[in-house]
Every structure is written in structure tokens, then in C-alpha cells.
Amino acid sequence: MATLAVDQVTYEDLYSRWEHGNWSATELDLSVDREQWRDTFSEIQRKGALWTYSMFFHGEDSVADNLSPYIDAAPREEQKYFLATQQVDEARHAVLFARFMREVVGIGGDTGSALDATRPELSWGFRQVFLRLDRMADELRKDRSLPKLAQAITLYHLIVEAVLAQPGQHLIEESLSKRGLLPGFRKGMHNVSKDEQRHIAFGVKLIADLVRQDPECRTAIEELLREVFPFTAAVFVPPDWDERYVSAFGFTLEQIYTYGAESMEARFRAAGLEPETMRVGMPFDLPPEERARRGLAMLRAGYLGAPNGPVKSDPEVTQILFDGLVRQIDASVAPGTTIQWDFRDAEPWHVRIDRASAQAEPGRVEHPDLTFHCRFADWLDLTSGRTEPWRATLTGRIRPTGKLRMLVRAPKLFG
Ligand SMILES: [Fe+2]
Ligand SMILES: [Fe+2]
């Protein structure tokens, strides 16, 4: 078994770090925070902060509620004990955000009603990711196999904690301390960040162990990532694309997305997943800034993200779309074949698959083995996760034609 840096840290080490890192969410003094929220914050800063912190509030609540089946499914006692400490942490984080909403923002009532009151703040991407986490917890209750656990940890510890939460926490802490804002809450956030680092370290270690124990875990992780990447990308899209929600605190969407892309790559690498070799549609051979740029270009053009109105095809963004698609193709399923996209309302595209890889180009190919007939927007609904493949084909919005063996293999080809 190949050794990794994560092997230097034991599950017991992580548990004892938890004992040493205990802190109180109920004793933090939020009185200065309340005054600043009212007197120092501008209108757009209040909007931006409420938007971001509402997603954290709901996120912490969801991860606290959904961790139990993970404790049942973890194979070793030391892993179960650590996960039990993590569940306490997540509850404490939710308590901090509930206090912030009640005492600083002035959203009244108990935690349940504060969650209800802040629900309209949640972005489309956020809702999809956390609906998936709810479903994942249910799946794990029924299926405690190692590949299912690997998927569940990938979604919780890598996607939600390392890719979404950590960059957010880092930027919140940095921007608040630069401006001397929200001293009580900031102290709490600092403790939350330290807890999250421990949780992520545990997740990375467990994934590294699972993947080395059972090679099917890797395939299961890739499958999950292909499914959730489109949603993950859409989490930080501000309401009505009003970028002042983030610029009011001194940073850009490009910075947030780059930070997330870096965090993702570093954790995949630490878990021994060798991201360049993963069949997930993500160009890990390119720098994180470029991955962030491509993701934002797809979001801004409406190729990814919330369904909101007609999408106009844009050649540069379509290039990015098909580049992601060919990275996702398993060439070994159908080597030496061609696929045509026959869009009713946009330029056609095709893909040639050779023995080891695939290439996409605009235009037509002669005698394709498989052809998809559809509107451009219907194809985007499929790739962005706005609709499921079975629904798109059953309703006739996407009509595949071609050789029978290709029609049968299509789902395996794209994963
Ligand atoms: Fe948390
Ligand atoms: Fe956490």
C-alpha cells in the first residue's frame, strides 16, 4: 500500500485535537457586533453578509443532522469516535449562527423559525448540494458498503467542507478582521475554521484509506463528483448576479472560485486520488485560476446554474462545455466511434473517440455511430443537472439515434 502524508496522523491524534480545541458558542459576546451591524454596516454589506451567513447557518444545521449514518457506517471504532466529536462540533457551529441571526440581525424565534426566515437567501446551487446530502445520508443508512461511505465522505468532507465552506470561512475572517468588524462573531468563526480543518483532515485520511482498501471506492467517488460538480459550481452565484454581495467585502467571485478550486485539488491530492487521472470532467491539468474562469464563464452564460430563461449559445463557452464532456468520456467503452450533436437551434458539434481519449469539434462528422437530436438548451439542462437523463429522453426532449450497441453503451460512456 502506497504511503501518503495523511498516514502520519492517526484517528486518535485527530480525536485528541478535538479535546484540546473545545470552545463555547454560547459565551461569545456579540454586543459590539449588534451595534456595528446597525450603525457601521452599509445596506449592501448587510445584504451580502446575510446571504453568506444564511448559507453557513443552513449548511451547519444540515451537516449536524446528517452525520449520524456516517458514524454507523465507519468501519473502525476510532473513526466512529472522531465522527461523534464532529457531530458535536457541527451542532455548536449551528448554535453560533443561530445566535448571530437572533442577537445581531434580529431574526426572532427559535432555531427552526430562524432557519425558515433565512431560507429565501439560499442559492439554487446550495439547495441542490444539500438536497443531495440529505439523500446521501438516507442511502448510507441502507447501504454501509465502503464505496457508499467513500461517496458520502467525498460529498460531506471534501465538497461541502473543503470546497464550499473553507474558502467562505477564510474570506469572511480575512475581510472582517481587515475592517475590524464583528469581533465576537469573528472569534467564533476562527474556532469554526479550526474545527473544519480537523474535519477535513479526517475526511481526507478516511478517503485515502478507503480507496487503498477497495478500488471500487475510486469509481464511486468519480461518479458522485460528476453528479455534484454542476451544483457545487453554482453555490456562490449571488442573487440576480449582483456581485456587490461579495465585492462589498473586498473580494471578487474569481477569488472565491479560485480558492475553492485550489482547496479541492490539494485535498484530492492529499487523499491520493491523483486528480488528473480522475474521469470527472474537470481540467486538473490546468491552473486553478483557469478552472475558476471556465466555471464562472459557464455560469454567467447560463450553461450552468439556476434555470432562468433562455440561454444563447456562445462559441467560446460551448468550447468549454465540450472540453469538459470529453474529459468525462470513458474511451474504453466505445473506442473508434463518433458522436454527433444535432442541435435544432445551434451549431452542431461532434466527438471522435479513439483508443485512449476523445476530441470534440464544432461541425458535422460523416456516419456518426450515435447522434443526439435536441435543442441546445435541452442539452444544457442535462449537463447542468437541471433535469435527469431519463426524464430528458422519456419526454423526447433529447432523442438519441444510431447503432444499438452505442445507444446501450451511452450511459456508461458518459458515466
Ligand atoms: Fe461546521
Ligand atoms: Fe465540519
* β partners of residue 353: 337, 358
Share of the chain above pLDDT 90, in %: 89
3-state secondary structure of 350: strand
Ligand positioned closest to the Cα atom of 82: 2
In a 13 Å sphere around the CA of 144, the CA atoms on its Cβ side amount to: 10
Domain ranges of the chain: 5-284, 315-414
Q: How far is the CA of 196 from the centre of ligand 1 (A)?
A: 6
Summarize pLDDT for 335-358 with one digit per residue, the tens: 999 999 999 999 999 999 998 889
* pLDDT for residue 311: 87
Which whole number is the average pLDDT over 146-174?
95
Q: How far is the CA of 259 from the centre of ligand 1 (A)?
A: 18
Q: Is the pLDDT of residue 415 over 80?
A: no
Q: How far is the CA of 126 from the centre of ligand 2 (A)?
A: 16
Summarize pLDDT for 30-45 with one digit per residue, the tens: 999 999 999 999 999 9
Q: Is the pLDDT of residue 129 over 80?
A: yes
Ligand positioned closest to the Cα atom of 156: 2
3-state secondary structure of 275: helix
CATH number for the region 315-414 comes to 3.30.1050.10
* pLDDT for residue 108: 79
Q: How far is the CA of 311 from the centre of ligand 2 (A)?
A: 36
- For residue 50, give the nearest of 124, 58, 132, 63 by alpha carbon: 58
Share of the chain above pLDDT 70, in %: 100
* pLDDT for residue 119: 98
Ligand positioned closest to the Cα atom of 203: 2
Question: How sure is the predictor about 410, in pLDDT bands with cuts at 50, 70 and 90?
Answer: confident
Q: Is the full-model pTM beyond 0.85? A: yes
Q: How far is the CA of 86 from the centre of ligand 2 (A)?
A: 7
Q: What angle do CA 83, 263, 55 make, to 5 degrees?
A: 65
3-state secondary structure of 396: coil
* Residue 193 to residue 93: CA distance in whole angstroms: 10
Q: Is the pLDDT of residue 243 over 90?
A: yes
Q: How far is the CA of 202 from the centre of ligand 1 (A)?
A: 13
Question: How sure is the predictor about 1, in pLDDT bands with cuts at 50, 70 and 90?
Answer: low
Provide the 10 A C-beta neighbour count for residue 147: 20
Residue type, 260: G
Task: Round the average pLDDT of the chain to a whole number and report it.
Answer: 95
- For residue 104, give the nearest of 190, 179, 191, 29 by alpha carbon: 29
CATH homologous superfamily, domain 5-284? Ribonucleotide Reductase, subunit A (1.10.620.20)
Q: How far is the CA of 76 from the centre of ligand 2 (A)?
A: 20
Q: Is the pLDDT of residue 68 over 90?
A: yes
Q: Is the pLDDT of residue 109 over 90?
A: no
Which set of grid coordinates corresponds to residue 141?
443508512
Same CATH fold assignment for domains 5-284 and 315-414 = no
Which whole number is the average pLDDT over 212-229?
96
Q: How far is the CA of 223 from the centre of ligand 2 (A)?
A: 23
Q: How far is the CA of 189 from the centre of ligand 1 (A)?
A: 10
* pLDDT for residue 223: 96
Residue type, 112: G
Which whole number is the average pLDDT over 309-316?
87
